[in-house]
Amino acid sequence: MSARFNYQAKKYFLTVFAGTGIFWSVGGVMSFQPDWVDYYMLPMLLGLMVPAMVAVVLIWRQPEGALRRDFKCRLLSLSLIRPGVFLLSLTLMPLSVLLSIVVSLGFGGSVEQFQVSDSFSFNSGFVPVLLLLFLAALFEELGWRGYGFESLEKGRSFLSASLIFGLLWSVWHLPLLWVNDSYQYEIYQLSPWYAVNFYLSTAVLGVIISWICHINQRSILVAILFHFVVNLSQEMLSMTQQTKSVQTVVLILFALVIIRNQWPLFMRKRELVITSTRDTGSVGQNWF
C-alpha cells in the first residue's frame, strides 16, 4: 500500500453510519405511517447506497489517480478472478444451508425445509425483493470492498481487519430492526434471539467475504457476486429461524477452518497501502 492512497477509516465509517442511519430512520418512520408507507423504500434505498457513495467521493478526492485506477481495476477486471477457487467458494453458502437443515432434523426439524420457498421472508415495498437482494450486494460491496475494508487493513493483521469489519458491518444493519416489514424487524417480532443470531452470522460472514475477496486478488466483483449468492441462499429454501441458528454455528466452523488453513494470510500485517491488485503474494494458494 502506498501512503498516497491515504485511506481515512474513521471518516469513512462515521460518515457511512451517520448517513445510512439518518435515511433508514426516516424510512422506518415512514414504514409505519399509512400516508407514507408507499414511499418508505425511497430513503431506504438511499441509505443502502451510502457506503458506495461515500467510498466514491473519498476515492475521487484523492489528489493522485492511483487509487481511482485501483478501484476501477478491482471492479471491472475479470483477470483478477481465480475461476476454480471462486466457483468453489460459491458453494459455501448453499452447503451451509443444506448442512444446517440436515442437522436440524436431529432436533425435530421438518424435512419440508428442503422445499423451495414459495415466497420471500420479508417485504420491500415497491422494489421487487430479488432486485433489492442484488442492489444490497452491489452497493454494499462497492463501498465495503472498494474502500471500507481496505481502510481497516493499514497497520493491522488481516485477521484483525476482518474481525473489526465483520463487527462494523453487523452493527451497520441495526436500524433495520425498526423498519416495518424488513427481514430484521420480522425476525425480531418472532424472538429477539433470532435477531441476535442474524447479527452474529453477519459478523462471521464479514470475515468469510473478506477472505474470498482477498484470494481473488481483491476483486470487488467477486465480493458482489458472492454477497448476492449469500442473499439468495438465505431465501431459496424454507429454512426455519431455528435452523438459521444452526447455520450460524456451521458458518463459524467454516470460518475457523479457513483461518486455520490460511493462518499466514490472516496473520499478515499490512503496514502500507496496496498499490497493485496483484499484490497478494502467495497466500491463498491452498484453499483448505
Amino acid identity, residue 24? Answer: W
Task: In whole angstroms, give the CA distance from residue 143 to residue 154.
Answer: 17
Q: Which residues of 105-137 are buried (b: 16+ CB within 10 A; e: fewer)?
A: eeeebeeebeeeeeeeebbbbeeebeebbbbbb
Q: Which of the residues 153, 173, 186, 214 is marked catalytic?
A: 173
For 194, the grid coordinates are 433470532
* Residue 227 annotated among the catalytic residues of the structure: no
Rg, Å, the chain Cα set? 19
Are the C-beta atoms of 192 and 241 separated by less than 8 Å? no
Q: Where are the alpha helices (DSSP H) in 108-191?
A: 129-143, 149-153, 158-172, 183-190
Q: Which residues of 168-190 are buried (b: 16+ CB within 10 A; e: fewer)?
A: bbbebbebbbbbbebbbbbbbee
For 268, the grid coordinates are 499478515
For 24, the grid coordinates are 433508514
Q: Which of the residues 64, 112, 140, 227 is marked catalytic?
A: 140
* Residue 173 annotated among the catalytic residues of the structure: yes
| Residues designated catalytic | 140, 173
